[in-house]
Structure 1
Amino acid sequence: MRHTDRPRGRRAARRRVAASVGDSREPGPTRPAAPCTVRRALAPFAATAAVLSLGLTLALAPEPAPVAAPGAAGGALVGEAQALNVAADVAARPVSHESYAATTGAETLVASGTNADWAKLVLIAGDWPVTEQNVTVMLQWMREENGVDNWWNRNNPLNNGHGSGGGSGLGSYDSLVTAAEYAADNLLKRSFYTAIVVALEDGTSAHAVAQAIWASPWASSHYGNGAWWSTSPVLIVEAPESAW
């Protein structure tokens, strides 16, 4: 025998199930928030925490030690000192110490006014070195021409004929300063005095200058080729102020 109420029961059950699923108004379980949403929510708190952490780190960090300048008072160099080893066969280059001699001014020489001063005036006028050897030979020459006590005779200590008005060397000049200029000029202008000029330019040997004077035509006697030339020290004598 067929029961007519079973299908009805099945359809009713399906309808009840469908109705309970499709028309249910009860709230379901809470869904977790999406990851990106959580990060956005926590970002302000993370930034604040980072700033606080950096501030604490800087506050707790030790201050750097002051650096002392090398050579400063109280300072010291830290570390190993460097050393330079030089081979034993390496020698330092010699240092050149050049000497310079100041040229005495003409005014100073005139103020002093001795025969040595006049000898220096001749050397300065000829642009020759004012060395001891050159001054010595000039004094010897002046002594051979006019003696020592009257070396300024006629304001012409070397009996120079050039510009003095006396071809034989018996002329005179207006002053000893003019006489010094003409003596140097005569030696420089005449080719037969070249050896004297060369020896004076060297300035290291009074004897070499004297030999050149003896060989020249300055004196017709040639000073006995040196036999009449004295090399003894010459007395320093001051000339009258009027001679200058």
Structure 2
Amino acid sequence: MPKHQHSDARPAFRRHGWSTVRTAFASIVAGLLIMNTLGFSTPSDDDLLAAYTAANAQPLVVAPAPTADPSVVADAAGASDAAADAVATVAPLIERPTYSATPGYETLISGGTNYDWAKLVLLKGEFPMTDSNVTVLTRWMRQENYVNTWWNRNNPLNNGWGSGGGGGTGRYVSLVSAAENAAEALRTLPRYSGIVAALEKSVPTAQLERAIWFSGWATGMYNNGAHWSYAEVPVVKAPPSAWGR
């Protein structure tokens, strides 16, 4: 049976090598001890800590700052400019037409003046209720009746249509009926077509007045306009009874 052979030689143990850092630290400590032996002061704990720190210093590597992509920067700048332009741009104001309320029948009847009656004729005849149309109608009423009694016989324009008086001397039951018949006469009889056209277009007062003079409404044609007054017509209110109230 074979025997195990034993070597009398002692096994060699591997020695661990000292690192460079440890060697440096040991050298510093040894140097400090030698200095103490030679009469120098004994190193303090702070001195030993400083020596250790110097021996174990780690290098500091600073990474370069990242560089932004120029295309990304340009896109961001463009977006900012677009947003600023959008804020700075003010949408233009939209001009909307203004509308004024047209007074109704009861409003005009309650007003009860010669101007209200002129407007009632325009309303009944579906003519524009403009200043020029109202001005001419009130002048026309003054030519047919005195201003202070413009509601005489409830027939402000001395209209023979539906009043029972062929020469314009008839009477209506109320000023409301008179307005209805005046509008109906203008819209019905062909000889008044010039007045209707002028009222519908709301022409200047001189054109409308000329259409009235030569329409045959008055046989004397107001002396071809020579008897027509252009003075301002005062506002005069008729009694409620004339309106059927």
Fold match by TM threshold 0.5: yes
Say if 1:188 and 1:194, in contact at 8 Å, map to a contact too: yes
**Separation in structure 2 between the aligned mates of residue 167 and residue 189 of structure 1, nearest angstrom:** 16
Unaligned runs of 5+ in 1: 1-77, 87-91
- Give the SS at the match of 1:83: helix
Tell me, yes or no, if structure 1 residue 131 matches structure 2 residue 133.
no
Shift of 1:232: 1.0
Tell me, yes or no, if structure 1 residue 182 matches structure 2 residue 157.
no
Tell me, yes or no, if structure 1 residue 162 matches structure 2 residue 148.
no
Question: What does 1:16-55 correspond to in 2, within 5 Å?
Answer: none
Say if 1:131 and 1:203, in contact at 8 Å, map to a contact too: yes
Residue 218 of structure 1 aligns with which residue?
217
- Give the SS at the match of 1:107: helix
* Cα deviation digits, residues 184-231 of structure 1 (max 9, x gap): 000000111001000000114222111000011100010111110011
Tell me, yes or no, if structure 1 residue 152 matches structure 2 residue 151.
yes
The one-letter code matched in structure 1 to 2:82 is: A
Unaligned runs of 5+ in 2: 1-76, 86-90
Shift of 1:93: 8.3
Residue 110 of structure 1 aligns with which residue?
109
Task: Give structure 1 regions of 4+ aligned residues with deviation exceeding 6 angstroms.
Answer: none
Residue 97 of structure 1 aligns with which residue?
96
**Separation in structure 2 between the aligned mates of residue 79 and residue 215 of structure 1, nearest angstrom:** 74
**Separation in structure 2 between the aligned mates of residue 230 and residue 124 of structure 1, nearest angstrom:** 25
**Separation in structure 1 between the aligned mates of residue 93 and residue 209 of structure 2, nearest angstrom:** 37
**Separation in structure 2 between the aligned mates of residue 96 and residue 189 of structure 1, nearest angstrom:** 40
TM-score normalised over the length of structure 1:
0.62
Residue 32 of structure 1 aligns with which residue?
none
Assess, with a 3 A threshold, how the Cα gap between structure 1 residues 81 and 184 changes in structure 2: closer, same or farther: same
The alignment covers a number of residue pairs equal to 162
* Cα deviation digits, residues 14-34 of structure 1 (max 9, x gap): xxxxxxxxxxxxxxxxxxxxx
* Cα deviation digits, residues 39-92 of structure 1 (max 9, x gap): xxxxxxxxxxxxxxxxxxxxxxxxxxxxxxxxxxxxxxx994243899xxxxx9
- Give the SS at the match of 1:184: helix
Residue 141 of structure 2 aligns with which residue?
142
Shift of 1:98: 1.7
* Cα deviation digits, residues 104-157 of structure 1 (max 9, x gap): 011011111000000000000000010000000000000000010100000000
Say if 1:131 and 1:204, in contact at 8 Å, map to a contact too: no
- Give the SS at the match of 2:237: coil
The one-letter code matched in structure 2 to 1:178 is: S
Residue 236 of structure 1 aligns with which residue?
235
Say if 1:196 and 1:212, in contact at 8 Å, map to a contact too: yes
Assess, with a 3 A threshold, how the Cα gap between structure 1 residues 133 and 84 changes in structure 2: closer, same or farther: farther
Residue 28 of structure 1 aligns with which residue?
none
Tell me, yes or no, if structure 1 residue 201 matches structure 2 residue 230.
no
**Separation in structure 2 between the aligned mates of residue 235 and residue 127 of structure 1, nearest angstrom:** 25
Shift of 1:97: 2.9
**Separation in structure 1 between the aligned mates of residue 79 and residue 215 of structure 2, nearest angstrom:** 75
RMSD over aligned CA atoms reads: 2.3
